[in-house]
Amino acid sequence: MPSFTRTSLRLLACCLSLIGAAHADASSPRPPNIVLLVADDMGYSDIGAFGSEIQTPAIDSLASQGVRFSNFHATAACAPTRATLLTGVDHHLAGVGNMVDTTPLSQKLSPRYQGVLGERVVTIAQLLRDAGYRTSVAGKWHLGDTPQNLPPARGFDRSVIQADSGSDNFEMRSYLPTKSQAEWFEDGRELSALPEDFYSSRFFVDKTIDYLQQNRQSGKPFFAYVAFQANHTPVQVPRPFRDRYQGSYDRGWEVLRNERRQRVIEQGLLPEDSKAGGGDLASWESLSDRQRAYEARKMEVYAGMATAMDQEIGRLVDYLQRTGQFDNTLFVFLSDNGGSATDPTTSALFRKWLDWTYDQSFERLGEKGTWTAIGPHWASVANAPLAGHKFMASEGGTRVPMIISGPGLHIRPQTTPAFVHIADIAPTLLEIAGVKPPAGSYAGREVEAMRGGSLLPLVRGESASVHAAGEAIGYELAGNSAVFQGDYKLLRNLPPAGDNQWHLYDLSRDPGETTDVREQLPELYARLQDEYRQYAERVGVLPVPEGYDYKRQVQINSLVFFYLPRLALLLVGVLILVLGLRWWRNRRRRRRLRAR
């Protein structure tokens, strides 16, 4: 065969190969990148897209291009939500039936209540990494600080995490008197220092962008989990963000709660006749001028902290747009639970610790070296118009803002009232990545099956719901319990916030949980109680002791597991010192006697 013919054939084969490769690429596009954004302790109406006066333009932009979930439920506390979010498994089965700080002694030995991820779960990071994704996490972890529970052992290639329930946002210090220093880890190794200009939200996005830059040329998609500390206590923010809101809250919590309720309704998130839950608030006018100014300042700091987080989210979005990755990226934004009403300053001991360690002056409030929390009245605004707050099974504790957005991923912009659960996130992310959930086993060991359903048919406009109308979904945390079925919710909260009785609500008409309908629907009321008993048995719910109060339990656990061991060590040290002095004196005495 002439050489020119052989050359022509090679060129033709090469062209056909390239055409075939191009066709294969067109028919099987690269899986999308995934950005999972989690806010901490932000209430239902704390985001502009959910009716807030707080400025969150970056999050609002994602919402305008995606789906707002008006009926999304997490658990009512940080670690349990994160456990289910990453595993798709009920938090009891994942090993986080309660938070470490609030777990009573009667539950401490159960594998369901260790407060860290158990051995029988696999995370979405592990599954995505196995499928070829680059994986990273930056932010609050709260799922364990031992090697087997740090991010590298749970599927993350790169990680920088704050391991505790929270920490200072400007310094490497604990926000509670139970620890002298917050625990930080990068890639599984403990950090000894943070940058001099450290602020948590900025640092987490700095690190995320840095991780995304690395190995970007590999062509692999990425999964980036960014877990902000905003707006967990201590509520802190650089002063310019706080000052944006100067005077915004001078009218008080009653006015602000009602205005948020109106905007939530106007935006189509809740029914027009939705009543504000949560009961009456203390009269703003009954406070002194000084008290009103200080309370308004706390909320200015809170709003500024949310805006600072939003600015960092915008910076991450800008980076992805500049690098041509935005259109093939799925964004999920949510809060881990409702706004927190806890105000530790009501404790005399905590106030004394604050006096020793933090500045609480009006002028500097929110800045580095200060400590504040918004308390129960502003929390009612954060969660407006829902009842309850963090830790409660009420809607204000569990119903939180959630947005899924992805401009190039066939997501139909809409607001959906469909009931959605935190367990639905993991199967959703796996499906869009083309990854199958584990079928009872992973890497040669048994694992819990994911319980949620994928949201992709819903966000693409192919379905109006995820869960069947007759499906019952149980819930329990720290003794507070609920069952959701269709439009109805069975609810029980422990004292002092609740009465330890079951109540029944029609959430389609009454998301504020203002009207108990158990007498009108006795059969449903009884049936849902039976559904709860089955749920509790299935996931291993343990009862809390008589008179249990999660706030008091934190104090008990601090005493038993922090202060008493240290006091015991101190006493042992004193005893050794006393015995050593006695031995030394006796030795000197014997020497003097021998010298005579």
Which among 208, 164, 121 is positioned nearest to 441, based on CA atoms? 121
Distance of CA 239 to the CA centre of its chain: 25
Cα dihedral 317→72→477→564 (10° resolution): 20
Residues 6+ apart with CB under 8 A from 187: 151, 152, 158, 159, 160
Cβ-contact 155, 443 below 8 angstroms? no
How far is Cα 313 from Cα 307, in angstroms, rounded to an integer?
10
Alpha carbon distances (Å) from 595 to 435, 584, 585, 587, 588: 86, 16, 15, 12, 10
Peptide bond into 271 cis (omega under 30): no
How far is Cα 502 from Cα 525, in angstroms, rounded to an integer?
9
Alpha carbon distances (Å) from 125 to 88, 114, 187, 222, 495: 12, 21, 14, 10, 38
Alpha carbon distances (Å) from 216 to 64, 227, 325, 498, 565: 28, 22, 10, 51, 48
- Annotation says 92 is catalytic: no
Strands (E), 108-153: 134-140
Cβ-contact 3, 191 below 8 angstroms? no
Other CB atoms within 10 A of residue 178 CB: 18
- Catalytic-role residue among 78, 92, 232, 467: 78
- Annotation says 142 is catalytic: yes
- Catalytic-role residue among 73, 91, 92, 142: 142
Q: Which residues are part of the catalytic machinery? A: 78, 142
